């Protein structure tokens, strides 16, 4: 783009917003039988002189696949090579600034998963080896004494849950409501390399945003630069109401996300608005087990998710 003021000067009904960086991307993808290969070239054109340019992938090569080992067990794998380059290094006035670093990264992540599913619940266990290896191109004079060139972690998890539902009638309409408690146990053991928290190591990594599903994420970060070393138990409950097979979206209120650096324990709350008949009856989903009765009436349901851990961030 030759005109850096293009977005600020352009006024159209399309309501185009000004951006600091313009995406320039090309991809080639091949799908095989149980595997796929991706070749990706991702660059940016920075049109704001007051910001640094993000890292570019020049290129990224990614192989992922899944192989069945038995009726319930499977092997999945991910292998990646990517070169990260940063344009406009003169944005950083110090020629030895660590943020001028370019790098090549190789990442491997094989996993063995055992899935046990029933109409009334599930229990899934998984073992994962997480490894990233780097070949850095540091600027001359940069302090690299505490920067490891590889990070390895072993990850073990057990994820389990139950399914309940009930039917009720309200205002001459038939409803179904689900209740799904969930428990995940997670242990991540890191290697002996000392972690680095220098910001340049966030090549393609950011902390996950708060959501119910992200509370049960095994890695704690997007991308392949970091993984959280932790021993953690997470408990959650979710619920949804349906009428005529149409899902009513719950209203969620998140109080605080889980962040490994903020403490040893946390309680997250979500408020979900539902309407329930007196003395509702819960039963195991699609099973012949006798119903369980809970005598309460409410129009506002509070979902509490608790997590306790000891953790550090590695990578």
pLDDT tens per residue across all 315 residues of the chain: 444 443 333 333 323 234 666 777 899 999 999 999 999 998 777 666 666 677 888 899 999 999 999 999 999 999 999 999 887 555 665 655 677 788 899 999 999 999 999 999 999 999 999 999 999 888 877 777 777 788 899 999 999 999 998 887 877 777 788 888 999 999 998 764 544 445 456 788 888 877 778 888 888 888 888 888 888 888 888 887 776 544 444 433 333 334 444 334 444 444 433 333 333 333 333 233 333 333 333 333 444 444 444 444 445
Q: Which are the contacts of 261, defined by CB distance < 8 A and separation ≥ 6?
A: 313
Q: Do you find a cis peptide bond into 59, omega within 30 degrees of 0?
A: yes
- Whether 53 is covered by a domain: the verdict is no
Contact between residue 225 and residue 136 where contact means Cβ atoms under 8 Å apart: no
3-state secondary structure of 98: helix
Q: Which are the contacts of 290, defined by CB distance < 8 A and separation ≥ 6?
A: 283
- Whether 302 is covered by a domain: the verdict is yes
Burial of 206 (0-12, 13-18, 19+ CB in 10 A): exposed
Global pTM reads 0.69
* pLDDT (0 to 100) of residue 96: 58
* pLDDT (0 to 100) of residue 184: 92
* pLDDT (0 to 100) of residue 59: 93
282: containing domain: 92-314
* pLDDT (0 to 100) of residue 13: 30
- Whether 63 is covered by a domain: the verdict is no
* pLDDT (0 to 100) of residue 132: 92
- Buried/exposed code over 165-195 (b: 16+ C-beta within 10 A; e: otherwise): bbebeeeeeebebbbbebebebebebeeeeb
- Whether 16 is covered by a domain: the verdict is no
For 200, which DSSP code? G
Rounded Cα distance, 226 and 44, in Å:
23
Number of compact structural domains in the chain: 1
Rounded Cα distance, 163 and 118, in Å:
9
- Whether 173 is covered by a domain: the verdict is yes
- Whether 79 is covered by a domain: the verdict is no
- Whether 52 is covered by a domain: the verdict is no
For 274, which DSSP code? -
Contact between residue 82 and residue 58 where contact means Cβ atoms under 8 Å apart: no
* pLDDT (0 to 100) of residue 216: 87
- Whether 140 is covered by a domain: the verdict is yes
């Amino acid at each position: 783009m030759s005109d850096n003021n293009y977005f600020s000067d352009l006024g159209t009904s399309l309501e185009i917003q000004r951006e600091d960086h313009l995406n320039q991307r090309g991809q080639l993808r091949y799908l095989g039988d149980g595997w796929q290969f991706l070749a990706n070239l991702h660059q940016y054109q920075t049109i704001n002189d007051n910001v640094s340019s993000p890292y570019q992938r020049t290129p990224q090569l990614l192989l992922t696949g899944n192989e069945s080992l038995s009726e319930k067990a499977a092997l999945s794998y991910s292998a990646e090579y990517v070169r990260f380059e940063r344009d406009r290094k003169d944005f950083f006035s110090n020629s030895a600034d660590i943020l001028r670093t370019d790098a090549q990264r190789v990442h491997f992540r094989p996993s063995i998963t055992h899935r046990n599913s029933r109409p009334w619940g599930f229990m899934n266990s998984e073992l994962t080896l997480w490894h990233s290896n780097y070949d850095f191109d540091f600027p001359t004079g940069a302090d690299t004494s505490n920067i490891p060139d590889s990070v390895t972690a072993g990850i073990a998890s057990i994820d389990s849950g139950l399914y309940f539902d009930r039917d009720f009638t309200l205002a001459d309409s038939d409803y179904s409501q689900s209740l799904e408690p969930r428990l995940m146990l997670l242990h991540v053991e890191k290697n002996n390399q000392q972690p680095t928290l220098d910001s340049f190591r966030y090549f393609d990594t950011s902390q996950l945003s708060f959501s119910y599903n992200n509370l049960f994420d095994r890695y704690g970060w997007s991308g392949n630069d970091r993984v959280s070393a932790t021993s953690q138990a997470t408990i959650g409950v979710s619920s949804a109401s349906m009428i005529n097979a149409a899902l009513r979206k719950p209203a969620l209120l998140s109080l605080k996300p889980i962040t490994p650096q903020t403490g040893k324990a946390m309680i997250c709350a979500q408020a979900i608005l539902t309407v329930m008949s007196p003395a509702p009856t819960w039963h195991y989903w699609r099973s012949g087990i006798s119903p369980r009765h809970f005598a309460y009436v409410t129009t506002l349901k509070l979902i509490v998710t608790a997590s306790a851990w000891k953790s550090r961030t590695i990578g």
